[in-house]
Structure 1
């Protein structure tokens, strides 16, 4: 199908502009344009693609840790719910959160800064009696990197404890790396997110 040159150019510019360069115009529009040998148009397309690459933001390690910690606090408080949070909030903030931050700092040091932008925190903790607080995962592969959990322990004659720990992909999430424990009481704690 033959399109006038001005219409081909207009369509290419329109598609590129409306999609912010994320979608490449159909090859048929570009092939015909290449045959016309208009180097100024080719330079504009290359310039548009180079501009797109500049929008990828690199996170510093400090920014990654700060942003992830903010989200970790939100996810943790959501998990604890209105019944558990008031009882353990102070001890959680003083003991557990600094240890979570240490793990995140260590994780950030393992990755080049340009790859930190691909790490994300899960959105929803598990309720009921599930252990999941949040996971850190790679958005490009969808695979978990670190899993932060809390388990209810009930040693005989000792009441209930919340055991905060994490797992890593290095050993297929088998080893429990302890972050700390917080005592609840002798009575059974309510379900998470209640």
Structure 2
């Protein structure tokens, strides 16, 4: 049965029964079962080949680009609807380029074939932690680099967001500065706050 005829029949039956009954898809599957078997074998082979090619062909530039994109998304999730509009512009111009630089420096220490094993973590649900995201090796589960933001409140001054990162080179001990963004004299809302 031709494709347009099948679709027309589904529409007619749905209209006549006011959408309460839709024709069974088994009615339309005369020859499609054998075609699906052939297509699924071909597509699974093709997907496997594509996956192998994709894993091997990840370049440093594409890795950095995808990590920075995910980093920006994770940061905005962390900020929430109340903090994001206030600091978004400064974050994009000051902090994000430094995050990209840190990711580049770290990624250059890995062979290109290992870059596909590096993954970015999710934003933690607990709002009081400093963690924005970590990049870790999904084969071993060990972190490679950790990106954090801390609220600072110097005496007789307003609130600041201090962005920094830690690396596995020194067991995540030292703070490497990414930049600081001024908030206000008033206490900033909790991370991930929704307006």
Q: How does 1:35-184 map to 2 (within 5 A)?
A: 56-184=55-183
- TM-score for the superposition, normalised by structure 2: 0.71
User: How many angstroms does 1:107 deviate by?
Assistant: 1.3
Q: In the aligned structure 2, how far is the partner of 1:51 from the partner of 1:66?
A: 20
The alignment of Structure 1 onto Structure 2 pairs a total of residues equal to 152
* Gapped regions of structure 2 (runs ≥ 5): 1-40
* SS of residue matched to 2:119: strand
Q: In the aligned structure 2, how far is the partner of 1:190 from the partner of 1:70?
A: 25
* SS of residue matched to 1:95: helix
- TM-score for the superposition, normalised by structure 1: 0.72
Task: Report the CA distance shift for 1:53/1:120 in structure 2 as closer, same or farther (over 3 A).
Answer: closer
Task: Report the CA distance shift for 1:128/1:53 in structure 2 as closer, same or farther (over 3 A).
Answer: closer
Task: Report the CA distance shift for 1:50/1:93 in structure 2 as closer, same or farther (over 3 A).
Answer: closer
Cα RMSD (Å): 2.4
Residues 132-190 of structure 1, C-alpha deviations (whole Å, 9 max, x = no match): 00000001000000000000001000111000000011111110001000000111110
* SS of residue matched to 1:184: strand
Q: In the aligned structure 1, how far is the partner of 2:83 from the partner of 2:54?
A: 42
Determine if contact 1:127/1:193 at 8 Å carries over to the other structure. no
* Gapped regions of structure 1 (runs ≥ 5): 1-16, 22-48
Task: Report the CA distance shift for 1:125/1:76 in structure 2 as closer, same or farther (over 3 A).
Answer: farther
Determine if contact 1:78/1:125 at 8 Å carries over to the other structure. no
Q: In the aligned structure 2, how far is the partner of 1:51 from the partner of 1:174?
A: 40
User: How many angstroms does 1:53 deviate by?
Assistant: 5.5
Determine if contact 1:136/1:147 at 8 Å carries over to the other structure. yes
Task: Report the CA distance shift for 1:109/1:190 in structure 2 as closer, same or farther (over 3 A).
Answer: same
Number of the residue aligned with 1:32: none
* SS of residue matched to 2:145: strand
